[in-house]
Amino acid sequence: MQRLNRIERPAQHDHLMRAERLRAVSLVSPATLLLTVMFILPLLVFVRFSFNQFVPGEFMKTAWTLENYIKFLSDPYYLRVLLRTIVISVTSTVLALVLAFPVSYFLARLRKRWKSLLIIIVVFPLLLGNVIRAMGWIAVFSQAGLMNRLLLSFGAISSPLQILQTPFAVTVVLAAVVMPYMILTLQAVIEKIQPDLEEAARDLGASTWQVFRLVIFPLAMPGILAGTLLVFVLCMNAYATPLLIGGPKVLMMAPALYSQIQDVSNWPLGGAMAVVLIGVTLATSALYSRILSRKYIRSFEGGTRV
């Protein structure tokens, strides 16, 4: 069939195809070049640094050694930092998903006039820096902050709670920070789900919960997958939020490796930590999207079979 096509295709069409391809390449190549020069090359340099030897009081010696990786992977302190980073990132992602879904659904089903206004409101926090937002949360969570004052005035507690510098605070603030990304990703996908499908399900006697579980949720799966992945990666690499809200007691990977480089010029260890962080993030993301997309396809097929 393909062969037939080729024979039948006029020469001019071939020419057009080639021009099209050329245009595609020329459109993609600036971005590719930029990414290679400004992202991949520096990254490779850093990977190389991670095999160098650190000399205290100086800089580093060129070497091929695994000692930085061994130091990181054999030290319970650093492993705890990595584990904490993963646990907090997963929890924040789930929290953001649960909180964002209703908002996205509402947004997707809204009439056009109000939609753009609400989307601006959702995007607005992104216009402020993370640091500014963290300072706002400090005003809410600190010992003399809004939350403690409210709890004290209602008599729920007798002395101020320590909320800052706990994993709880970091998880909540991180979820809030990444929320706009989640909402926008979900909203784009939910918008494409025909409201007719929900009506049809209801007409066939499905409850609201059943409509959500059997119709909206599976159909929104690509959005959920993309949103959670994006947000998870952002959480894994978060710097300002864990630093300001968590402090040294809730140390996460990005602040930990930055402080090795900035405070004691230990680039090799910082480099090794960065490589581990990127590796773990990539591996987790790949595994997750594989499991989920397989499950999603199966449930989708199951749905059509009924």
Partner 1 sequence: MDRKVWLVLGAVFAYLLSFTPCDRGASAQSPGQGASGKVIVGTFGGDTVKVLSETVDPVLAKVAPNVKIVYAIGMNTERMTKMRVEKDGASSFDIIHVNDRDMQILINEGLLLKLDEAKIPNAKKLFPSFRNDHYIPYNFSANVILYNKNKVSPVPTSWEVLWDPKYKGKIGIQTNLWTDHMYIAALLEGTAYQNNWDAGWNRMLKLTEQELKPFSSMETLGIALQTGEVWLTVTRRARAVQWAAEGGATLGNVLPKEGVYPVTFCAAIPKNAKNVDGAHAYLNALLDQKPQIGFAEVMGYTPTVSGIPLSEKVQSSIGFTDEEMKRIKPIDLIYVGKNDPKWKEQWDKKIISR
Q: Which is nearer to partner 1, 248 or 303 (CB)?
A: 248
Q: Which is nearer to partner 1, 26 or 62 (CB)?
A: 62
Please give the residues from 104 up to 123 whose contact with partner 1 meets the rule CB under 8 A. Answer: none
Only one of the segments 3-11, 20-28, 106-114, 257-265 lies at the binding site for partner 1 (rule: CB under 8 A); that segment is 257-265
Q: Which is nearer to partner 1, 223 or 270 (CB)?
A: 270
The answer to whether residue 143 forms part of the interface with partner 1 (CB under 8 A) is yes
Contacts of 141 (CB under 8 A, 6+ apart): 147, 148, 163, 164, 169, 245
The answer to whether residue 57 forms part of the interface with partner 1 (CB under 8 A) is yes
Phi then psi dihedrals of residue 207, to 5 deg: -75, 170
The answer to whether residue 289 forms part of the interface with partner 1 (CB under 8 A) is no
The answer to whether residue 296 forms part of the interface with partner 1 (CB under 8 A) is no
Q: Which is nearer to partner 1, 58 or 196 (CB)?
A: 58
Specify the residue for token string 């006039």: 113
Residue 251 and residue 85 in contact, taking contact as beta carbons nearer than 8 Å: no
- Number of H-type helices and E-type strands within the chain: 16, 2
Residue 170 and residue 250 in contact, taking contact as beta carbons nearer than 8 Å: yes
The answer to whether residue 204 forms part of the interface with partner 1 (CB under 8 A) is no
Residue 279 and residue 201 in contact, taking contact as beta carbons nearer than 8 Å: no
Residue 51 and residue 70 in contact, taking contact as beta carbons nearer than 8 Å: no
Q: Which listed residue (87, 150, 264, 283) binds partner 1 by CB under 8 A?
A: 264
Residue 203 and residue 146 in contact, taking contact as beta carbons nearer than 8 Å: no
> What would the two tokens of residue 47 be?
């990977």
Q: Nearest to residue 93, comparing CAs of 165, 177, 166, 189?
A: 177
Only one of the segments 28-36, 142-150, 223-231, 286-294 lies at the binding site for partner 1 (rule: CB under 8 A); that segment is 142-150
Residue 118 and residue 110 in contact, taking contact as beta carbons nearer than 8 Å: yes
Q: Which is nearer to partner 1, 177 or 193 (CB)?
A: 177
The answer to whether residue 265 forms part of the interface with partner 1 (CB under 8 A) is yes
Q: Which listed residue (9, 149, 192, 249) binds partner 1 by CB under 8 A?
A: 249
The answer to whether residue 48 forms part of the interface with partner 1 (CB under 8 A) is no
Residues at the contact surface with partner 1, assessed by CB under 8 A:
54, 56-59, 77, 135, 138, 142-144, 164-165, 243-244, 247-249, 251, 255, 259, 261-266
